[in-house]
Amino acid sequence: MTRVLSGTRPTGKLHLGNLLGAIENYKKLQGAESFFMIADLHALTTEYEKQTHIADDVTEVVLDYLASGLDSARCVIFIQSEVPEHAELALLFSMITPIGWLERNPTYKDQLQELKGKDLHTHGFLGYPVLQAADIALYKAEKVPVGEDQLPHLELAREIIRRFKHIYGKDVFPEPEAILTKTPRIPGLDGRKMSKSYDNCIYLSDPHDVVDKKVKSMVTDPARKRREDRGNPDVCPVFYHHRLFNSENSETVARECRQAARGCVDCKAEMAAKMNEFLDPIRRSREAWSKKKTEVRKILDQGREKARQVSRQTLQETMQAMGLKK
Ligand code: TRP
Ligand code: SF4
């Protein structure tokens, strides 16, 4: 049975980009050996100044996981900080990770640029990929379903694991492989990649009218200024979503757009209706789970115990390999 691990940073509610970019694959890879965590320690690397909100965001992500179709009978759902082995293995990995690898990490450089308002010149933020490598290695995961933006981190995890094997001559961890979905980057309201930091997201928990309003505000083919102008669906983010949520009609939509036989207002209304149809069951399930606090806590408690069983064992093997234990 293939071991699977992935995680999501709890920096707010999950959006369609998270679902279609990664969580869809969590669902497909569910099985006796799959572990899905909420990476609250990773959230702390950038949100350390407002720690009080992280626990609330953890709850939101758990609800989004369950509402999206993760089934605690078929996978292990847990909170990273409740399994101390993550921090312990990260410390052990930090001993063998050259600083140059971390400083060269393209995601690190991008984030320093992008999150200019925050002081990210910390040990924890530089070591973000070391912690992520530990997350994966603790479960000896072979498959890691993630969004495209995580590929550099996965590459670093593989490098750290290879270095471990090279130094200690022990094959404790398999080399993990990233698993991407067919739609690794879906466009947000402004046409850029849907991302919380761009404030252009449709959230899984957005009510009907909010989805309608957001879709109304979406950018379309920028060259189509008037209703009489012919449009180009290939450059239109609304059309991208037609292909996802209204696939049976997408050819008609494209043709009518090209012939100026449909206006953007109607086109958006049709897409919003389809997107709402897609989101309806998720919203309903989320609503139901949000009322079952005790049950949700039980899922997380069981998840923590299962995660600890596996991770304790791996940590022992690692300590032996590194000479801390006989
Ligand atoms: N860095 C990931 C993200 O921002 C979250 C994450 C933490 C993760 N640990 C992981 C993903 C381990 C895959 C495997 O989305
Ligand atoms: Fe986009 Fe639809 Fe307008 Fe064409 S008609 S530009 S697909 S919103």
Distances, alpha carbon 205 to alpha carbons 68, 108, 175, 293, 312, in Å: 11, 30, 35, 17, 36
Residue recorded with tokens 């079952």: 292
Please check whether residues 223 and 274 belong to one and the same domain. yes
- Work out how many domains the chain is built from and give that number: 2
- Residue among 189, 217, 218, 221 whose CB has most ligand 2 atoms within 8 A, to mutate: 221
Centre of ligand 1 to C-alpha 7, Å, is: 5
Whether 199 is covered by a domain: the verdict is no
Q: Is 257 in the pocket of ligand 2 (CB under 6 A)?
A: yes
- Structural domain containing residue 239: 206-286
Whether 211 is covered by a domain: the verdict is yes
Query: For position 217, which CATH number holds?
Result: 1.10.240.10
Q: Kindly give the confidence (pLDDT) of every residue in the chain, 326 residues in length, as a single tens digit, with 9 standing for 90 and above.
A: 899 999 999 988 999 999 999 999 999 999 869 999 999 999 999 888 876 789 999 999 999 999 999 999 999 999 999 999 999 999 999 999 999 999 999 888 888 888 778 888 999 999 999 999 999 999 999 999 999 999 999 999 999 999 999 999 999 999 999 999 999 899 999 999 999 889 999 999 999 999 999 999 999 999 999 999 999 999 999 999 999 999 999 999 999 999 999 999 999 999 999 999 999 999 999 999 999 999 999 999 999 999 999 999 999 999 999 999 98
Whether 191 is covered by a domain: the verdict is no
Please check whether residues 173 and 296 belong to one and the same domain. yes
| Reported pTM | 0.95
Strands 34-38 and 143-145: unpaired
Distance of CA 114 to the CA centre of its chain: 19
Centre of ligand 1 to C-alpha 316, Å, is: 23
Whether 193 is covered by a domain: the verdict is no
**What's 73's DSSP letter?**
T
Whether 226 is covered by a domain: the verdict is yes
Q: Which residue's C-alpha comes closest to atom 3 of ligand 2?
A: 264
For the record, the structure tokens of 108 come out as: 């690190």
Q: Is 220 in the pocket of ligand 2 (CB under 6 A)?
A: yes
According to the model, what pLDDT value does residue 51 have?
A: 64
Whether 260 is covered by a domain: the verdict is yes
